[in-house]
Structure 1
Amino acid sequence: MRIHKEGHSMLLKTLILVVVALVLLYFFTPIYVYGAGIVVFSLLYLFLLRFFRFPNRPQLTDDGVVYAPADGTVVVIEKTFEGEYFKDERIQVSIFMSVWNVHINWYPIKGVVDYFRHHHGKFLVAWHPKSSTENERTTVVLNNGKSQILLRQIAGFLARRIVCYAKEGEKIEQNQQMGFIKFGSRVDLFFPIGTEINVELNQKTTGGQTVIAKLK
């Protein structure tokens, strides 16, 4: 199993803390407390290893489709006003990522990064309607030469750090890594009105594999 680079530092620091804690438990607590500590800390570390896993997946490419930028569950499909960049009505598709999902984010199309912003904000639960505009988030607008889509990484109640590799003017490939969100979070996509959406509410998505929409 590969571990994503965003987890290397946290895993090393956690391992050091676990070793120190177990040494203290060994010398200063009854043996049954030490045994319980081994079990609890082992489970915690295994959870972190699983969270930062980097799955082996084929890099699919198709200029006519938009692939899922994240693993998770589709929680929103609706027309909404996008007020940061387009300032008009768009089709919003939102994918909620639980702590059990892979938290890597991928570029859903090939093209150029037209716009990038990181916004500081609150840490409402990721499925809260206001999290899209009030939470810690990034906004990335991608242009494939024919149309633009907006992708927004949103921090959740547990997600306190968003990593995004996007740079304005950068050429990107479909299913190239875009970033990483640590712990529960959400990714929003905003499409032009009339875009054919290929997912349904509560559908599970696999990042870089599930077709979210077809572009005209």
Structure 2
Amino acid sequence: MFCAVRAAPTPFPDRRLRPCRRGRRRLWLEATGQEERTVPVSNIWKSIESAVPPINREGYPFIGIFAVLTLGMGFFSTSLFWIGLILTVWCALFFRDPARVTAVDDGLVIAPADGRVCLVGHRVPPPELELGDQPMMCVGIFMNVFDVHVNRAPVSGRVFRVAYKPGAFFNADLDKASEQNERNGFVFDSVHGKLAAVQIAGLVARRIVPWSREGEEVTAGDRIGMIRFGSRVDVYMPEGLKPVVNEGQRTVAGETWIALAESTSAETIHTARVG
């Protein structure tokens, strides 16, 4: 003989009286003696800030123009709106200015630009730099339109000279760009002697923006200027510095070592700064 077993009544026979998911969680926490942990809004905001690099102030007018044009195109076509939105995001990314961790050592030469090494060899520096007519070791870095375009000081020292030279706008990846394109040169008075970083405009880049001035003291990794929309930076180094990069290698401005003093060993460098 079988007998029916009656199920125990549920504590909430009416579905409308049952606690919601948050209520059930509260009951579970009370039963287990645990406390509910919440994530402060400030922590969420800090996480977003750490994931999204800041935008340099030079980009605000351009981003604003792109945004206004995007909204205007949105009134006429949804497709044009999405195209404009993509271009606006690209413009914002172009002017991104992330913090960099720079090794602190007088025996280092730091990459002044993000990009690809397009030249490692001896070359006569531009005459406006007044560094003489003898070939110097030169490392050239080409920046495409997707690279960070904020340039940084390759060494610590005093800005001895800032020299601007108007010129053409050939593709910055070409050898003749160093001689014929519009350029702006910084000459630094460092512990190694005179060292120069030359900003070179490119086919798309039509505006060199120098920030450092003559007589200013800079530290390796400091922001010294930028070039808008694709360009190149050449570094002319005196004797006693040995390049440690090869053509085709990628560099990160303010972080990648492009040269070492002959008396410097990489094992002895332990200090860095963020900026």
* Shared fold, TM over 0.5: yes
Q: Alpha carbon RMSD of aligned pairs, Å?
A: 1.3
Matched with 1:147 is 193
Matched with 1:6 is 58
* Stretch deviating more after TM superposition (191-200 or 158-167): 191-200
Q: In structure 1, what is the Cα distance between the partners aligned to 2:161 and 2:261? A: 20
CA drift at 1:83:
4.1
Aligned to 1:53, what secondary structure does the other structure show? Answer: coil
Q: In structure 2, what is the Cα distance between the partners aligned to 1:164 and 1:143? A: 17
Contact 2:162/2:186, CA 8 A, preserved across alignment? yes
Name the CA shift for 1:43/1:83 in 2 (closer, same or farther; >3 Å): closer
Aligned to 1:19, what secondary structure does the other structure show? Answer: helix
Name the CA shift for 1:59/1:81 in 2 (closer, same or farther; >3 Å): closer
Q: In structure 1, what is the Cα distance between the partners aligned to 2:256 and 2:240? A: 20
1:116-136, Cα deviation, whole Å (9 max, x unpaired): 111111100001211112111
Matched with 1:120 is 166
Matched with 2:204 is 158
Q: In structure 1, what is the Cα distance between the partners aligned to 2:146 and 2:62? A: 17
Q: In structure 2, what is the Cα distance between the partners aligned to 1:83 and 1:159? A: 20
CA drift at 1:215:
2.7
Aligned to 2:101, what secondary structure does the other structure show? Answer: coil
Q: Which segments of 5 or more consecutive residues in structure 2 lack a partner in the other structure?
A: 1-51, 263-275
Aligned to 1:91, what secondary structure does the other structure show? Answer: strand
Q: Name which of 72, 81, 85 aligns with 1:42.
A: 85
1:45-91, Cα deviation, whole Å (9 max, x unpaired): 11111111111322432211011001000010111122412122101
Higher relative contact order (CA 8 A, sep 6+): 1
Aligned to 2:140, what secondary structure does the other structure show? Answer: strand
Letter in 2 for 1:189: V
CA drift at 1:193:
3.5
Q: In structure 1, what is the Cα distance between the partners aligned to 2:70 and 2:81? A: 9
Q: In structure 2, what is the Cα distance between the partners aligned to 1:57 and 1:140? A: 21
Matched, 1:64 2:107: yes
Contact 1:89/1:193, CA 8 A, preserved across alignment? no
Q: In structure 1, what is the Cα distance between the partners aligned to 2:103 and 2:211? A: 20
Q: In structure 2, what is the Cα distance between the partners aligned to 1:13 and 1:38? A: 14
Contact 1:106/1:208, CA 8 A, preserved across alignment? yes
Contact 1:94/1:187, CA 8 A, preserved across alignment? yes
Q: In structure 1, what is the Cα distance between the partners aligned to 2:241 and 2:221? A: 20
Higher strand share: 1
1:13-41, Cα deviation, whole Å (9 max, x unpaired): 22112212222x1xxxxxxxx12112211
Letter in 1 for 2:57: K
Q: In structure 2, what is the Cα distance between the partners aligned to 1:146 and 1:196? A: 12
Contact 1:104/1:179, CA 8 A, preserved across alignment? yes
Larger Rg: 2
Q: Name which of 185, 188, 197 aligns with 2:234.
A: 188
Q: In structure 1, what is the Cα distance between the partners aligned to 2:167 and 2:63? A: 26
Q: In structure 2, what is the Cα distance between the partners aligned to 1:92 and 1:60? A: 21
Matched, 1:86 2:138: no
Q: In structure 1, what is the Cα distance between the partners aligned to 2:200 and 2:249? A: 19
Q: Which segments of 5 or more consecutive residues in structure 1 lack a partner in the other structure?
A: 26-33
Letter in 2 for 1:123: F
Q: Name which of 257, 261, 266 aligns with 1:215.
A: 261
Percentage of matched positions with identical amino acids: 33
Normalised TM-score (structure 1): 0.91
The number of residues matched between the two structures is: 207
Runs (4+) off by over 3 Å: none
Letter in 1 for 2:55: I
